[in-house]
Amino acid sequence: MTSLHAPVEYHVAHLAEMDPVTLYQVLKIRVDVFVVEQTALFADLDGRDLEDGTLIAWAQEGTEVLATIRILTEAEHSEIGRVATAFTARGRGLAAELIRRAIAEHGHRELRMGAQKRLADWYGRFGFVISGPDYVEDDIVHVPMTRAVTPPVS
């Protein structure tokens, strides 16, 4: 049986290295998911995408971006955020693969995130554990989550 989809490609880059059309699609997914779908009125363009240590990762099929995450590099840890999948691409494991790849590249550092509480079990599949009390952000209950450093393979 032949697939109707082009193969999914996974990319990671600093914002300045991204093609403008790809960047537009990444930002559109973030706005579609967080601002439109979840009605969270917040400034997605918070300046953090421009920081030297920030990486944007995305899943792309042909010329269409389907999912994205953002990886921030802090002094003592890295932080995964802005995890978003286009509505039409959900259920394909694209965000899960982006998380797995981020862990593979950044797991030598402690990883943190502020996760929507309803997704805490999903992030738990990747080794994240709730590391503090619930809090409300943009009218959505969140929990801080942490993933311990992955020990090096001998």
- Per-domain boundaries in the chain: 8-110
- pLDDT score at 4: 65
The CATH number of 8-110 is 3.40.630.30
- pLDDT score at 154: 62
> Beta strands 135-137 and 110-116: pairing type?
unpaired
- pLDDT score at 2: 43
Average pLDDT of every residue of the chain:
93
- pLDDT score at 42: 84
| Intervals of the chain under pLDDT 50 | 1-2
Does the pTM exceed 0.85? yes
Residue whose entry in the numeric block shows the structure tokens 């990883």: 111
> Distance between CA atoms of 89 and 65, rounded to whole angstroms?
10
CB 101 within 8 A of CB 12: yes
